[in-house]
Amino acid sequence: MTAIGFEAPGGPEVLIPEQVSLPEPGDHDVLIRVAFAGVNRPDCIQRAGHYPAPPGASPIIGLEVAGEIVAIGKDVPDEMIGQTVAALTPGGGYSEYCTAPWNHCLPVPQGMDLKSAAALPETLFTVWHNVFERGMARDGERLLIHGGTSGIGTMAIMLAKAFDMEVIVTCGDEAKCEAARKVGADLAINYRETDFVEAVKSHTGGAGVNIVLDMVSGDYVPRNLQCLAEDGRHVTIAVLGGAKAELFMPMVMMRRLTLTGSTLRPRSDDFKAALADEIAINAWPLFASGELAPVMDQTFPLAEAAAAHARMEAGEHIGKIVLEVAGEG
């Protein structure tokens, strides 16, 4: 089969199509004929050599796909054969065929196109776990999202609004702020022109937000804490702005703040299966019914994965970048 590989870590240009053997599904796995594969920031970090695949995972990049199940392992329910699914994968998505644990798959209903389905798993699993489980989001609360027009950001806006939250985002220019408002953000702050701490305080009458979803870390963390209301939760899912932060801990104590975070890929298969079950009940119906749909950026052919990575790293995209492998079939 054709897959995207690289001989040595580097910039987007190291990604090249190559011929590799089809993966063999394990006892609990399905083999998916990939129609589309989502592109995510961890893919770029892996390509650069800073995020190796966990033990036992495919070295091929790609954490989410949509397509048809064409083979199954011995412990997989027989009815999975022939199903069209969106799957969270441990790796291997940038290829014509990919394996995934069967219980990390979500059924693609009639009416949902496979391109949109492939754009959902990584961001949906990440946002659900970090905003609603770790962040303990509740109806009526306020959420501050950095990177409001990223795949994660747009997913977080949509889900938060679906559960009656007030959403504030930061973006890098006015066009992105307007795009975030169209997705549903109640307030979009251009962080290059406005101090987001002051903007949050002004918008909330000094009350602050209940949750911050932080992809920046670094010197944003102490500023984020200034935005939090009492008993607020700070959830870190990436460290694009630096791995270290300096905090004034008496503020954490006096305001009873919670600092947490997570990475999804290294978590156990059982954890991801439980997360998939919760998403299937609480969030997937919103997309299956058409009430919500992922915000889509550009689609690139599989062979042009390098261009897809270059677009993501340029930071100009709004929503999800997707690779077309076999299309809608």
Query: What would the pLDDT profile of 7-57 be if each residue is shown by its tens digit?
Result: 999 999 999 999 999 999 999 999 999 999 999 999 999 999 998 888 889
Q: Which CATH superfamily is domain 2-120+265-324 in?
A: Medium-chain alcohol dehydrogenases, catalytic domain (3.90.180.10)
Average pLDDT rounded to a whole number, residues 120-133: 97
β-strands 142-146, 258-261: how paired?
unpaired
CB 28 within 8 A of CB 269: yes
Specify which residues 36 forms β-bridges with.
66, 324
Domain ranges of the chain: 2-120+265-324, 124-261
What are 220-274's pLDDT values in tens digits?
Answer: 999 999 999 999 999 999 999 999 999 999 999 999 999 999 999 999 999 999 9
Going from the C-alpha of 318 to that of each of 105, 109, 119, 179, 214, the distances in angstroms are 26, 25, 13, 8, 18
| Structural element, H or E, at residue 153 | helix 151-162
Point out which residues pair with 114 in neighbouring strands.
Answer: none
Are 170 and 145 in contact by the 8 Å Cβ rule? The answer is yes
With tokens 């690779």, the residue in question is: 323
pTM of whole model > 0.75? yes
Cβ–Cβ < 8 Å for 39, 26? no
Closest CA to 308 of 118, 31, 90: 118
pLDDT for the residue 329: 61
Closest listed residue to residue 204, CA positions, set 168, 235, 169? 168
Q: Report the pLDDT averaged over residues 162-190.
A: 97
CA distances from 143 to 74, 229, 315 (A): 44, 11, 22
In the block, residue with structure tokens 């997707």:
322
- Inform me whether the pLDDT recorded for 95 exceeds 80: yes
Whether the pLDDT of residue 3 is over 70: the answer is: yes
pLDDT score at 328: 77
Q: What is the mean predicted confidence (pLDDT) over 84-104? A: 98
Question: Region 173-182: what's the mean pLDDT?
Answer: 96
In this structure, how many other beta carbons lie within 10 angstroms of the beta carbon of residue 197?
17
Rounded percentage of the chain residues whose pLDDT exceeds 70: 100
Q: Quote the mean pLDDT of the chain.
A: 96
pLDDT digits (tens, 9 = 90+) for 290-303: 999 999 999 999 99
The tens digit of pLDDT for each residue in 150-168 reads 999 999 999 999 999 999 9
Distance CA 62, CA 93 (A): 4
Provide CATH code, domain 124-261. Answer: 3.40.50.720
